[in-house]
Amino acid sequence: MLSRSEIDVAVRRLAGELNRDYRGKNPLLIGILKGSFVFMADLVRQLDFPLEIDFARVSSYGRGRQTSGKVRVLFGPRCAVQGRDVIVVEDIVDTGLSVSHFIAYLAKRHPASLKLCALVDKPARRRVPVQIDYLGFTVPDKFLVGCGLDWDEKYRNLPDICALEDEE
């Protein structure tokens, strides 16, 4: 669905927006594991301001294709969030349940600012509103794998983002 070269172009564009907006700041980028690890690694190598990195684990899908609807923060960032300019880095916003839950979790910890950077948005399946401040792609309602995205923990290593075919 999205080739590695298309993803590279989008990552450079997003990095340009962040380099403009965070110049002279020292933001904390928090990647939501596991899916964001590839996007985070691609993105930070294009950023030219001082920054810190942390990760959190939010889970709602388990091993299947359907969200359980119950989101849990399995572990939060180790860095203090209070007073920091925080950028949440997500691979995909689908129903929005994971990231909206996590953003509410962070907001309670009083960051100076809180923005969301997502590689892929799938608005057709949205169940809660999510404001994506920095977005790579909007995609149709297909189950996607690659570039960190998995199905049953497989395919995260694919360099492209691919649509998984139906099982029938």
Tell me which residues touch ligand PRP (CB under 6 A): 32-35, 59-61, 67, 90-99, 150
Nearer to ligand PRP, 32 or 162 (CB): 32
In the residue annotation, 94 being an active-site residue is answered as yes
CB of 56 to ligand PRP, least distance (A): 10
SS3 16: helix
Nearer to ligand PRP, 2 or 97 (CB): 97
Identify the H or E element spanning 102: helix 97-107
Residue type, 52: E
Nearer to ligand PRP, 42 or 94 (CB): 94
DSSP 138: E
Report which residue's Cβ sits closest to ligand PRP: 35
User: Which of 146, 156, 145, 113 is closest to 131 using CA atoms?
Assistant: 113
Catalytic residue among 21, 48, 54, 94: 94
CB of 60 to ligand PRP, least distance (A): 5
Q: Where are the beta strands (DSSP E) in the chain?
A: 28-33, 52-59, 72-75, 85-93, 113-121, 134-138, 144-145, 162-163
CB of 41 to ligand PRP, least distance (A): 14
The residues carrying an active-site annotation are 94
